Amino acid sequence: MNIKGLIAADKNKLKNQSVASKVSGIFRNASIRFALVIAFMVVTIVTAVWGVYSIYSRDLKADNIQGEIRIDIQALSKHFLWALSATTEEVRTSELEKISEAFSDFNGYKEELSKVYDNETMIKQFYEHLAVVEANGKTLEGMFSDGHSTNEDIFEYFDGTLYPSINDVASDLKTVSQEIAEHGQAVYTRTLITTGVSAALSFLIILTTVLFIASGGSALAKSIVEPVDEVRTAARDMSEGKLDINIEYRAEDELGELAHDLRKSTRYTASIVSDISESLGRMATGDFTKGTDNPKLYIGDYSAIKDALEDIADRLSTTLTQVRESSSQVSAGAQNMSEGATALAEGATDQAAAIQQLTASVSTVTEQTRNVADAAAQSNEMAQKVKEDVDTSARKMHLVTDAMTRITEASKEIELVTNSIEAIAKQTQLLALNASIEAARAGDAGKGFAVVAGEISQLANQSSEAAKNTHQLISDTMDEISNGNEVVDETKAALELVVESVNHVSEMMTTSGNMAKDQVTSMEQITEGIEQISNVVSSNSATAEESSAVSQQLSEESSMLNDLIDKFKVKNG
C-alpha cells in the first residue's frame, strides 16, 4: 500500500463495489485505524503509569529512606555531643536513651532499603559501615557509663573514631542517592521517549485516518449521490410524464444496475405509451374492431393493459350493438307507452270522481262515529251518577242494619227486665198469701192487714199478667226484627249486585267511548289517506299526459340514436 492509499480511498474501486461493500470497507478501514490509535494510546498510558510507578515504588521510597537515615545519623552525632556537654546526669541519660532508640531505628531502615534498592554491593557496604557506626556508638556509650573515661577521652574517641565511621555511612548514602537519581532519570527519559513515540504514531495514524475518512467519505458520497441524483432526476421526469430521459451513470454496483434497468424501463414504457396512444386514437375515430396494434409489446404485468384495451374494444362493440337493438325496442316501447299513458289519464279521471264520492261517505261516517262517542261519554257520566246513588243506598242500608242490631240488643235487655218483674210478682203473691194466712190467724185484728194483703196479691197478679203480655210483645217484636234483618240482608245483597252491575256497565261505557274516539281518529286518518290518494290520482293523470308527450319525443330520439350508432365500426359478433 502506497502513501496515497493510506490517506485516500480508491474511487475506481469504490465505483465497482456494492453499496454495502463501499460503506463497510470505509468503516472497516477507519475502525482498524482507530483500533491502532487506541492500542498506541494504551501503550502510552501503560508506559507512563509503569514509569511513574517505578519511580515511586523504587526511587522515591529509596530516596526517602536514605534521607531519613542521613537525618538520623546527623541527629546521632548531635545526641553524642549534647550528652558530652550535658551539665547534669539527667540530661546525659536522656540523650543516651535517644542514641539507643536511633540505633534501633537503623535496623528498620536497613530492611526497608533492601526492599526498594537492588544494588547488593552497595547495600552490603552500607550495612558494614552502619555496623561499624553502631559498634563505635556502643563503645562510646560504655565510655559515658564506665566512670573512668574523661570528657577529653570521650570527645577524642568521638572525633577520631565514631565521626569518621559516620562520614563513611553518609558517603554511602550519598552514593545511593546519586544512583537513585540516575535510575529515576533513566526511567523518566525512557518513559518520555516511549510516550512521545506512541503519541507521534497515534497522531500520525489519527491524521491519516481523518484524511482517509474525509477522502473516503467524499468518494463514497460521490459514488452514491451522483447516480442517485441522476436516477432521482429521471424518476421526477417520469413522474411528470417525460419518457425521453438520459442516464449517463454506468457501473457494476447496485446503482449502476438500477440506472441500466431504469433506462431499459423508460424505453419500454415509451413504446407501450406510444402504442396505447395510437390505439386510443383509432378508437376515438370510432374503430373498435381491435384493442391494440402491437400486442407483443405487452409482457408481464403490462399484459393487463393489453387485456384492458381488448376488453374496452369488445365491451364498446357489444354495447353499441346492444344500444342499436335497445334503441329499436325503445322506439316501439315509446309508442306503446304513449297509448298506455292516454288510457291511464282517462282511468285517473274516473278514479278522481269515485274518490270524491268516497270522501263524502267517509265524512258522514266520521260524523256519526263522533256522535256515538259523545253519547257514550254521556252514558258513562250517567252510569257514574247511578253508581254513586247505589253506593249511598248501600251505606244507608248498613245504617239500618246497625239500628236493627241495636233494637234487638235493647229488646233482649227489656226481656230480662220483664223476667225480673215477673219473678218479683210471683214473690209478691207468695208474700200476700202468707200475709192473708197470718191475718186469718189474727182474727179481727188482722182484717185490715188481710185487705191490704188481698190488694197486694191482686196487684201482683196484674204485674205478672202485664209482664207476660210484655214478654209476648217483646217476643213478637224480636221475630219482626229478625224478619227485618233478613229483608235488610237481602236488600243489601241486592244493592251490592246492583253496584257490581253498575261498575261493569260503567267500564263497558268507558270502553265504548274510547273505542268510539279511536274510531273517529281512524276515520279522520282514512279521510286524510283518501285525500292523499286523490292527490296521487291527480298527479298520475298529469304524469300520464306528460308521459304521452315524452314517449313521442323518445321515439324521435331513438331514430336519431340509430343514425349515430351506424357511424361506428364494431367487431362482428
What is the number of other CB atoms lying within 10 angstroms of the CB of residue 480? 13
38 against 487, higher pLDDT: 38
DSSP 64-129: HHHHHHHHHHHHHHHHHHHHHT-SSHHHHHHHHHHHHHHHHHHHHHHHHHHHH---HHHHHHHHHH
Task: Tell me the mean pLDDT in the region 251-262.
Answer: 68
Name the grid cell of 420. Answer: 225480673
pLDDT by residue (tens digit) across 53-106? 667 666 777 778 777 877 878 888 888 888 878 778 888 888 888 887 877 777
Q: What's residue 432's pLDDT?
A: 74
Model confidence band, residue 567 (pLDDT cutoffs 50, 70, 90): low
Sign of CA dihedral 71, 72, 75, 76: negative
Taking 60 as the threshold, does the pLDDT of residue 2 lie above it? no
- Could you give the CA distance from residue 304 to residue 294 in angstroms, rounded to a whole number? 14
22, 263, 302 from 205: Cα distances, Å: 21, 44, 57
Task: Tell me the mean pLDDT in the region 137-158.
Answer: 83
Contacts of 305 (CB under 8 A, 6+ apart): 272, 276, 298
Q: Which residues pair with 569 in a beta bridge?
A: 287
Task: Tell me the mean pLDDT in the region 209-214.
Answer: 71
Model confidence band, residue 391 (pLDDT cutoffs 50, 70, 90): confident
Task: Tell me the mean pLDDT in the region 17-40.
Answer: 72
Name the grid cell of 110. Answer: 536497613
Average pLDDT of the chain?
A: 74
Q: What is the residue type of 340?
A: G
- Could you give the CA distance from residue 473 to residue 479 in angstroms, rounded to a whole number? 10
Closest CA to 363 of 521, 523, 514, 534: 523
Beta carbons of 15 and 251 less than 8 angstroms apart: yes
Q: What's residue 327's pLDDT?
A: 67
CB burial class (10 A; 0-12, 13-18, 19+) of residue 513?
buried
- Could you give the CA distance from residue 367 to residue 388 in angstroms, rounded to a whole number? 32
Beta carbons of 453 and 435 less than 8 angstroms apart: yes
Provide Rg for the chain, Cα atoms.
76
Beta carbons of 460 and 425 less than 8 angstroms apart: yes
Q: What's residue 382's pLDDT?
A: 73
- Could you give the CA distance from residue 275 to residue 183 in angstroms, rounded to a whole number? 94
386 against 430, higher pLDDT: 430
Q: What's residue 303's pLDDT?
A: 75
Taking 70 as the threshold, does the pLDDT of residue 253 lie above it? no
Taking 80 as the threshold, does the pLDDT of residue 572 lie above it? no
Task: Tell me the mean pLDDT in the region 12-40.
Answer: 70
pLDDT by residue (tens digit) across 316-343? 777 767 766 776 776 676 667 666 666 6
Residue 289 DSSP one-character state: S
Task: Tell me the mean pLDDT in the region 420-435.
Answer: 78
Q: What is the residue type of 10?
A: D
46, 226, 238, 515 from 244: Cα distances, Å: 66, 20, 9, 88
Task: Tell me the mean pLDDT in the region 253-272.
Answer: 71
Cell 408481464 locates to 300
178, 318, 385 from 138: Cα distances, Å: 30, 140, 156
Model confidence band, residue 285 (pLDDT cutoffs 50, 70, 90): confident
Closest CA to 382 of 497, 498, 502: 502
Q: What's residue 516's pLDDT?
A: 63
Domain boundaries, the chain: 3-236, 351-550
Closest CA to 172 of 115, 116, 131: 131
Taking 80 as the threshold, does the pLDDT of residue 182 lie above it? yes
Q: What is the residue type of 442?
A: A
Beta carbons of 559 and 346 less than 8 angstroms apart: no
- Contacts by 49-54, CB closer than 8 A, 24 or more apart: 50/191, 51/187, 51/188, 51/190, 51/191, 52/191, 54/187
Q: Angle at CA 21, nearest 5°, toward 20 and 22?
A: 90
- Could you give the CA distance from residue 554 to residue 545 in angstroms, rounded to a whole number? 14
Name the grid cell of 372. Answer: 256515538
400 against 158, higher pLDDT: 158
Taking 70 as the threshold, does the pLDDT of residue 398 lie above it? yes
Beta carbons of 220 and 9 less than 8 angstroms apart: yes
33, 104, 117, 174 from 182: Cα distances, Å: 38, 30, 13, 12
Q: What's residue 319's pLDDT?
A: 76
Q: What's residue 410's pLDDT?
A: 74
Name the grid cell of 227. Answer: 447516480
pLDDT by residue (tens digit) across 526-560? 777 767 776 766 776 677 667 667 667 766 776 77
Taking 60 as the threshold, does the pLDDT of residue 1 lie above it? no
Q: What's residue 386's pLDDT?
A: 64
Taking 60 as the threshold, does the pLDDT of residue 3 lie above it? no
CATH of domain 351-550: 1.10.287.950
- Contacts by 92-98, CB closer than 8 A, 24 or more apart: 92/144, 96/141, 96/144, 96/145
Beta carbons of 219 and 9 less than 8 angstroms apart: yes
Sequence length of the chain is 573
Beta carbons of 196 and 40 less than 8 angstroms apart: no
CB burial class (10 A; 0-12, 13-18, 19+) of residue 424?
middle
DSSP 226-268: HHHHHHHHHHHHHHTT----------SSHHHHHHHHHHHHHHH
Three state DSSP letters for 539-572: HHHHHHHHHHHHHHHHHHHHHHHHHHHCCCECCC
